[in-house]
Structure 1
Amino acid sequence: MARYHEKRLRGMVKALAGAGIVAMLLSGCGSSPEEMVQSARGFLEKNDPKAASIQLKNALQENPGLAEARFLLGRVHLDQGDVPSALKELKRASELGYSADQVTPLLARAMVMGGEGKEMIEQFANTSLGDPASQAQLQATLGEAYLGTGAPDKAEERFRDAARDAGARDRAELGLARLSAGKRDLEGALSQVEGILAHSPKYVDALLFKAALLNAREEPAKAAEAYSAAIAIEPSAVAPHFELVSLLLRDRKFDEAAEKLKAMQAAVGKDNAQAVYLQAYLDFSQGRMKPAQESIERVLRVAPNYLPARLLAGAIYLRTGDILQAQGHLNSVLAVAPRQLVARRLLVGAHLAARETDRAADVLQPLLKDYADHADVMSLAGQVYLAKGDFARSSEYFAKAVELDPKDASARTRLGISRLASGDSSSAFSDLEAAAEMDDDRIQADVALVMSHLRRGEIDKASEALGRLEKKQPDNPLVSNLLGAVMLGKGDLPKAREAFERAISLKADYLPAVTNLARLDLADKKPEEATKRFERLIEANPKLVDAYVALADLNIAVGRPADDARKVLDRGLSANPGSLPLKIALVRHELRGGDPKAALTIAEEAQAAAPNDAVVLDVLGRTQLAAARPEQAVATFGKLAGLRPDVPAVLLMLAQAQLATKNASGAELSLKKALALKPDLIEAQRLLMALRAQAKDEAGALALAAEVQKQRPKAATGFLMEGDYLLSQKKFAPAAASYRRAMQLEPSAQAVVKLHAALTAAGKNQDADREAEAWLRKQPKDLTVRGYLAEAQLRKGDYAKAAQVYKGMLTIAPGNALVQNNYAWAAWKAGDPKAMSYAEEALKTAPDSPAILDTVAMIQLESGEGDKAIANLKRAVEKAPKAVPIILNLARAYAKTGKADEARALLGQLERDFPDAAAVKKEIAAIRGTL
């Protein structure tokens, strides 16, 4: 907001402290509404607006149609800075026929102060009032409106017109002074405002503008004097208090600001929205996020168009990690004030926090144009391009930031990190070392040095850098945690443990150190010790949400029953009701366990609690897809796309949901929108290719593949896509040619598999096998191609050959339980009598694997060991309660062993759980036919 628009800062709500008692004293006297209005005039003459307001409200309670009462109450509200209420009353007074000469100038001012300058111009630009003084006031207000909407020439015309009237001259001259300031003539503007104050020393608006000019000249002490003088003249005026407290906050004089804010609250009321805004600002500045958020939300409920509140809300939500809310508020500011530096910088930061690097770069561009000599902007640009992976440009901007402000340690730190990323390690380490020496308090540069040396395997240099860091902050748990990492790099596990333990002794709930110790426990095959660590952490801090998530993940990693992880997350929610991260973790847990219905219930609860949270909406949409609710997923991702129209990943998910509803045209439109935002979004390109293949649009498909090839000239991606399309159209020879080109660019197991498939489909089996054999000679330990060849034999029904391939794979990966299981299954199908021993060997490797238990059980069932088979299948189902193939095998085992009732009960439950799954219904019918 421009500094010369102090009056617009009054657009707030003012509460009447203690009004209830005064109202009772003033009412009940038997007065008529007209007498109450007369009494209110008397209170206004005595400068008692609170008492006048009560009388006017009492009068209107008895006679809502009193136009004069509406007008006077609107004037009181306007003087007290309650613009929304002023607008309401003045508009009603106008509707009731109150004198246009009196109501129009005030209504026009209220509209400008309430952020409705454009609307006011449209309504009153051509209005002519009968009273010359009123017309002059209206002209001055129109000048202020034109000034605020970026039309200085029209503003000057209106101000000069208004200056002809003595009553409006001060306002008009002040407007002209503001025009001078807008032209960066601060000295001229100050001279003009001093001239106004010479003949009108108690003109508060002039004092406020003088203070603003002094502040612009970096004379905050003199500015504070001017604000204090304005307060002395009008103690109940909101703007002087507001500006004085704001000045102190900007100068980080928090104690003095708090004192002056208390004085403001006493003068204008604690519930005055501008006072509430300043309280939010003070809380935010001192790191009290929760009260800051509560206060700013109160302000926005009554003044949603107040840009400073929107800006502060954006900063608060960004700090608390609510990126979607932050972006919404900051975009609202930039829609009205596109050159607002702070809002644009914060919005760039919000997009970076959301990993939307392309969008961050787009939002950044106006800053690069307007603030090329601003060190902070150059540093921000460096961060954006570092996140995008453009290390050369990143280093260029960071270097410029250092050039503009050589003493900025943080900029030099980032320059070092950027140079590391680009491979310029010698300059990078010099920058980081210089930054570490420049800043005795901050440790960012030191941490970056240690981490960079660790990543490069330079353990001794990391240890040396850590020594300097320890001298700066010896009692920081982060430092002890880094020491543990250095000790791990040296292979000294006891000292690593000791360092991690010290980090926890410094801060009992320091999760990174607890996690590192748990990893060491797991490496020592002591999962119970790891579990106890997280349990102690949760006991010490039951509000530490991430600890519950980490413990649940640990339970899954060590193969404990799925219900154990569920119980941990439930405990977390009991201690942290409504925690979205825990609910999201629970949703993902249920999806991982194969229970999309349970996941959907939890996701819907999360969405009800946070209807516009981007992460929650994304999880809900994905869960709806998993639960076979594609129409709902379309609605969810559609809503998310409305909230985040500039995020291509959202449009990609919307397209996937639309495809699930067979809405190919809608999906194509969403994909094209995503590609308009990010032309090289490969996931969108692949989906679009699938759509074109489905539509048999060969020209479109090949054009898309060519576009991908052009975007990635050294990558195999475009040729693999081209080959996939041609293969789907049964054009085997051209497909093979595309795959060969992919192999030339980027040899990979994936390309070999695809080339083998194309050649086989073309009837060139020998050529296909030669390609696979050539690859395996170069990559003898490749399991992907070998696994593909085994599956190819399985598809042909040649189980013996498949078993041979799996046996060969086991010489490469002898402890691979998946390969052991596949070997056992193929050997069993080939009639190998040793198949059971192979399966049992696999079970020793992974005793709780549902897939291996299933294989063992099916071999047992075929061997006549029905009871053992059922026992193992029950164990498998217990481990994977939603694995439908295993449940079907258990039903088959029941049927084969004469347990018809158990089979029917199990099949009935499956039918209820999967009412819409045609493949499941078919299997159920087949098993029932054997009962």
Structure 2
Amino acid sequence: MRCDAPRAQRFFQCGVAAGLTGCELMRRQACGAMVWSRWRSAVIVSCACLLAAGCDLLVSPEVRLERARGHVAEAEYRAAMIELKNALAAQPEFHEARVLLAEVALWLGDATSARIELDKADPQCERSAAAELCVRIDLALRRYDAALARLRADSSIPPAARHVYEGMAHAAMGRHEQAAASFRAALALDPGSLAAELGLVESMATRELPAALERSAGIVAAHPDSALAWYTRGALLARAGESAAAADAFEHAQARIGQLDVPQQAALFAAQAETHFVLGDLAGARAAIGALQNVAPGTPVAKLLSARLHMAEGRYSEASAELHRALQTAPELTQARFMLAIALVAQGHLEQASQRLAEVLAETPANVEARQLLAQVRLRLSDPNGALQTLIPALRADAGDGRLVALMDELTASGGIGATGIELLEKAFAQDRDNERLALQLASAHLRNGSPERAVELLRAAPAGAADGRREALLVEALVKSQGTAAARAQVDALLRERPGDAATVSLAASFYAGTGELDAGRRLLERALQQSPNEPLLLTTLARLEWRAGHVARARDALQRVLHQDAGNAAARMALARLELRTGNATRAGELLEPLRADPTAAEPRLLLARIALMNDDVQRTKQLVDEALDSGAHRADLHNAAGSMYLNAARYDLALEHFLTATRLAPDVPLLWLNLGRTQLGLGQGAAARSSLDKALELQPGWIAAEGVMAFLELQEGHTGAALARMARLKDANPRDAAVHALDGDINLSLQRYVDAARAFETALDLRPARELAVKAYHARTASGQGDADLPLRRWLAGQPDDHEIRKLLAQALIAGGDRRAAIAEYERILAAMPDDAVTLNNLAWQYFEAKDARALTLARKAHALAPEEIAIIDTLGWILVDAGHLEEGLKRLRDAANRSGAPPDVGFHYAFALARSGAQREAVQRLQALLAKHASFPSREAAQRLLEELEQPDEGG
């Protein structure tokens, strides 16, 4: 090299000759010290510039290709792309560089650019280096048929690889059996092919997920450093619902992220985000979405997941904005429209949500989720018929979605399917008579709207076992209402002969027997079935309901706890156990069971039950808050307003009930039940004219409805029209001589008129027609009030058929005590304890009877009762009183003080405490207690005894 060449030329030549070490080369030149010294500073500065940028200007395309290959080896694909583009700018026909650029573009997720570059290099993909790449690009562009055609035509691709690509194409087209065959063929040629192994497990997972999971475990064990193996296993675990294990597998894949191309990285981060959402880990989801936005910024999937995160955090306006941006980028993205509708519903923009959902269904008519949500929106917009029209196509398509059926049932129960709705269903059924689900929904609608005969007709025509046994349950109910108990029993017995071991059939039969008073028969059925399937939740929950009905609280609780021991999240068992605890006075435990169910934003029932607990505690503000939550969770359906109103009505809060029943009748004006409840509420508020109007509407919708006729009769009594009420009852009895409900209503009317003999006769007639414990109790009370002998005869008759109904036996024991037969009462209590040794109430009552009978066992039983129920005032009082009488004055006084000072303690407890005070020598305090007690309570059972004790204590001590 000539050192006297022009300065710039010398610097460029140095750069070309020495690459990135040109300055060192220049220092080695033998050009003389004078030249070097003169240009020393310039050389240093210029070489620095060349090192930073200028030197690359003269790098050859071949060098750039080698550099690009080095970057690819290090997974630095964007750097490789820069080198290749520079190489091609200098030499456009550089085939190897263009093929590698196509490869890099594909790695970066730009299959379209990859196709363009490869077309420039080898349009026909004739060179072996490009053939395989062509197939991969076709697969990325979803040109599966083209890929398969190329694989058949091109023999240059190795056979094992060809089978792998064939499997990928078949799998993408949903041909999973063909895909599995292709992957197995690849493994036969190349047993070590990881791509074939992973493709095979993904194909297997469509039909044999457990086997695919097992095989994937073996793959990661054999290839622990493969990111794709860990990603595939994570995807399979997520599909199997094993979210925590899936998240762990995805973490392993992320630790090796450099092995994955950009689309695979994006898929991994998206899958990680989904898994974190399922686990409720919003921080983890946020991190995964951030990583996704780094590798695939601005992509629709990144926007969708970002919107999901906003929604999970309750930031629905931000979610809406993100989804709008996603739709601007990809207007064809149906999932974004659906999510936008969800966000709009959450913000209360129902009309906009309805429009978006209609767009979704226009594009994807089979989208059941969208149909469900649109139906709920139409309900909230007071358009039940619109909701029904939305759901009918899914029923006609026989979607088989349990949630769809549940929504239809809710719509029916809420009154959304009135006369107009039934007409819509009838028209749809006329066009599709072989549709089982449509037939069942139509039958259910007729059943709920007072036409059980038409329901029976439809159900008889439907095949046995339709809709997983739902047909049988509806048929039994329809037969009871249209043809009576005997016809329904024949159907139940036939079902048991056909399917003796089926849990649903056994549960249906046991429930039917329990409803007719045959508790023992129902229990025997369930116990036999549980011997075969001891942990079947349906059988256990049915057993719990039966045991509760029989008064076996501990057994009912045990059955439900067995369900929850297996599945703590079983909402039905939690609800049932909460109701049991509430009925037994344990509101705190009931609340603990219900609170976790509020995590489900659509769960209205737990919120309403929590509201009931709050109302019991006089916490009206919390009650209203929970009711509002329940209404929001269920799209303000008429049935939810009815449930809220009924809660207030049962608590005699007529003012709060009224607004809910008024709203319910506006939402579903064709439902008789809603008008009945509105009438009952108006009756409670003294709004006689309004109540009559509401009841007339109920009877217009359902003529002859016994429940509405009964309330109308009570309205007539309240208005002083006794003759009209009795005439109404006479007409009902003439029209329904064999209807137990009519005779029970006649008994209630006569009881309110204090015509106790007639009332008792009516209740006993109803009891003969339909054995039921509540009728036995009413008949007993009526006979007692009438002064008839053997007042407890209805209770004995009931117990003759239901000897294990211990609640009725407790009532019989009380009746025997009232009749002066303590010995017989003690025998009844002892019989109850033999079956229920830990029943605190029975222990307490028997302890008291032993005490009255001077039986030394009284104290032992009283202590046991207190140990079981230490917070019950009556039980504390019994123990304290027995202790005082037994000479344990200090302990007895302590117990009685505890009972008397509790809120809600009855006056008899105060008397007992005063008596104990007097016996202990604290006569002044005893006098004060008695004076206050007698001044506050004009009447209570121990008043005379309290008055006598006060007089004794106030007498001057003659000995003093």
Query: What is the TM-score normalised by the length of structure 1?
Result: 0.51
Q: Is the 8 A contact 2:564 2:573 kept in 1?
A: yes
Q: Is the 8 A contact 2:216 2:233 kept in 1?
A: yes
Q: Is the 8 A contact 2:396 2:438 kept in 1?
A: no
The equivalent of 1:727 in structure 2 is 683
Q: Does 1:805 align with 2:759?
A: yes
- The worse-fitting range, judged by mean Cα deviation, of 411-420 and 811-820 is 411-420
> Offset of 1:751 from its aligned partner?
2.1
Q: Does 1:713 align with 2:731?
A: no
The equivalent of 1:370 in structure 2 is 364
> Offset of 1:756 from its aligned partner?
3.7
Pick closer, same or farther for the CA change 1:594–1:295 going to 2, 3 Å: same
Q: Is the 8 A contact 1:242 1:274 kept in 2?
A: yes
Q: Distance in 2 between matches of 1:165 and 1:416?
A: 63
Following superposition of structure 1 onto structure 2, how do residues 139-538 of structure 1 map, counting pairs within 5 Å?
A: 156=112, 185-186=143-144, 201=157, 208-209=164-165, 211-213=167-169, 227=183, 235-244=191-200, 246=202, 302-303=249-250, 369-370=363-364, 379-381=397-399, 388=408, 511=501
> Offset of 1:511 from its aligned partner?
1.7
Pick closer, same or farther for the CA change 1:209–1:616 going to 2, 3 Å: farther
Q: Residue deviations 1:653-706, cap 9 Å, x none? A: 454455556554455444444444544755521343367779999998555333
Pick closer, same or farther for the CA change 1:732–1:813 going to 2, 3 Å: same
Q: Does 1:646 align with 2:640?
A: no
Question: Residue 749 of structure 1: which of 703, 706, 718 is its match?
Answer: 706
Following superposition of structure 1 onto structure 2, how do residues 444-843 of structure 1 map, counting pairs within 5 Å?
A: 511=501, 557=518, 559=520, 591=548, 607=564, 609-626=566-583, 628-631=585-588, 633-642=590-599, 644-656=600-612, 659=615, 664-676=620-632, 678-679=634-635, 681=637, 684-689=640-645, 702-746=658-702, 747-762=704-719, 765=722, 767-784=724-741, 786-787=743-744, 790=747, 798=754, 801-811=755-765, 813-814=767-768, 822-823=778-779, 825-833=781-789, 835=791
Q: Distance in 1 between matches of 2:477 and 2:815?
A: 51
Q: Distance in 1 between matches of 2:730 and 2:395?
A: 56
> Offset of 1:916 from its aligned partner?
3.9
Q: Distance in 2 between matches of 1:419 and 1:827?
A: 45
> Offset of 1:719 from its aligned partner?
2.0
Pick closer, same or farther for the CA change 1:178–1:651 going to 2, 3 Å: farther
> Offset of 1:709 from its aligned partner?
2.0
Q: Distance in 1 between matches of 2:204 and 2:674?
A: 59
Q: Is the 8 A contact 1:655 1:666 kept in 2?
A: yes
Q: Is the 8 A contact 1:174 1:192 kept in 2?
A: no
> Offset of 1:611 from its aligned partner?
3.8
Bigger radius of gyration: 2
> Offset of 1:729 from its aligned partner?
3.2
| One-letter amino acid of the counterpart of residue 710, structure 2 | V
Q: Is the 8 A contact 2:809 2:832 kept in 1?
A: yes
Q: Which runs of 5+ in 2 are unaligned?
A: 1-66, 87-96, 254-263, 272-279, 281-288, 290-300, 309-331, 339-355, 369-392, 410-420, 447-453, 480-486, 878-904, 916-941, 946-960
Q: Is the 8 A contact 1:235 1:267 kept in 2?
A: no
| One-letter amino acid of the counterpart of residue 754, structure 1 | V
> Offset of 1:641 from its aligned partner?
3.6
> Offset of 1:367 from its aligned partner?
7.8
The equivalent of 2:831 in structure 1 is 875
Pick closer, same or farther for the CA change 1:202–1:179 going to 2, 3 Å: closer
Q: Residue deviations 1:783-837, cap 9 Å, x none? A: 44554564566678x4xx2133212443565475855665455444444456577
Q: Is the 8 A contact 2:477 2:488 kept in 1?
A: no
Q: Which runs of 5+ in 1 are unaligned?
A: 1-98, 110-126, 148-153, 285-291, 313-323, 325-331, 345-361, 403-410, 433-442, 459-484, 505-509, 517-545
Q: Distance in 1 between matches of 2:430 and 2:133?
A: 43
Q: Distance in 2 between matches of 1:246 and 1:263?
A: 14
Which secondary structure state, in structure 2, belongs to the residue aligned with residue 714 of structure 1? coil
Q: Is the 8 A contact 1:300 1:309 kept in 2?
A: no
Q: Distance in 2 between matches of 1:587 and 1:566?
A: 10
The equivalent of 1:59 in structure 2 is none
Q: Distance in 2 between matches of 1:713 and 1:173?
A: 70
Q: Is the 8 A contact 1:566 1:589 kept in 2?
A: no
Q: Distance in 1 between matches of 2:73 and 2:216?
A: 31
Q: Distance in 2 between matches of 1:857 and 1:695?
A: 29
Q: Distance in 2 between matches of 1:555 and 1:700?
A: 36
Pick closer, same or farther for the CA change 1:418–1:188 going to 2, 3 Å: same
Q: Is the 8 A contact 2:799 2:809 kept in 1?
A: yes
Which secondary structure state, in structure 1, belongs to the residue aligned with residue 669 of structure 2? coil
Pick closer, same or farther for the CA change 1:598–1:381 going to 2, 3 Å: closer
> Offset of 1:867 from its aligned partner?
2.4
> Offset of 1:852 from its aligned partner?
6.3
Which secondary structure state, in structure 2, belongs to the residue aligned with residue 750 of structure 1? helix
Question: Residue 899 of structure 1: which of 841, 854, 877 is its match?
Answer: 854
Pick closer, same or farther for the CA change 1:825–1:260 going to 2, 3 Å: closer
> Offset of 1:734 from its aligned partner?
3.0
Which secondary structure state, in structure 2, belongs to the residue aligned with residue 381 of structure 1? coil
Q: Distance in 2 between matches of 1:550 and 1:771?
A: 34
Which secondary structure state, in structure 2, belongs to the residue aligned with residue 689 of structure 1? helix
| One-letter amino acid of the counterpart of residue 854, structure 2 | K
Q: Is the 8 A contact 1:674 1:684 kept in 2?
A: yes
> Offset of 1:874 from its aligned partner?
3.1
Pick closer, same or farther for the CA change 1:680–1:793 going to 2, 3 Å: same
> Offset of 1:913 from its aligned partner?
3.6
Which secondary structure state, in structure 1, belongs to the residue aligned with residue 671 of structure 2? coil
How many pairs does the alignment contain? 664
| One-letter amino acid of the counterpart of residue 501, structure 2 | L
| One-letter amino acid of the counterpart of residue 641, structure 2 | Q
Which secondary structure state, in structure 2, belongs to the residue aligned with residue 511 of structure 1? coil
Q: Residue deviations 1:568-611, cap 9 Å, x none? A: 89x95xx9887766765676577556576786677567546534
RMSD: 7.4
Q: Distance in 2 between matches of 1:161 and 1:806?
A: 96
The equivalent of 2:909 in structure 1 is 925
* Percent of aligned pairs sharing the same letter: 16
Q: Is the 8 A contact 1:824 1:836 kept in 2?
A: yes
> Offset of 1:241 from its aligned partner?
2.2
Which secondary structure state, in structure 1, belongs to the residue aligned with residue 660 of structure 2? helix
Q: Distance in 1 between matches of 2:669 and 2:556?
A: 42
Q: Residue deviations 1:712-736, cap 9 Å, x none? A: 3333222223223333434344334
Pick closer, same or farther for the CA change 1:159–1:305 going to 2, 3 Å: farther
> Offset of 1:130 from its aligned partner?
11
The equivalent of 1:472 in structure 2 is none
Following superposition of structure 1 onto structure 2, how do residues 16-165 of structure 1 map, counting pairs within 5 Å?
A: 132=83, 156=112
Q: Distance in 2 between matches of 1:695 and 1:487?
A: 36
The equivalent of 2:52 in structure 1 is none
Q: Is the 8 A contact 1:790 1:806 kept in 2?
A: yes
| One-letter amino acid of the counterpart of residue 249, structure 2 | V
Query: What is the TM-score normalised by the length of structure 2?
Result: 0.49
- The worse-fitting range, judged by mean Cα deviation, of 879-888 and 745-754 is 879-888
Q: Distance in 1 between matches of 2:716 and 2:625?
A: 35
Which secondary structure state, in structure 1, belongs to the residue aligned with residue 399 of structure 2? helix
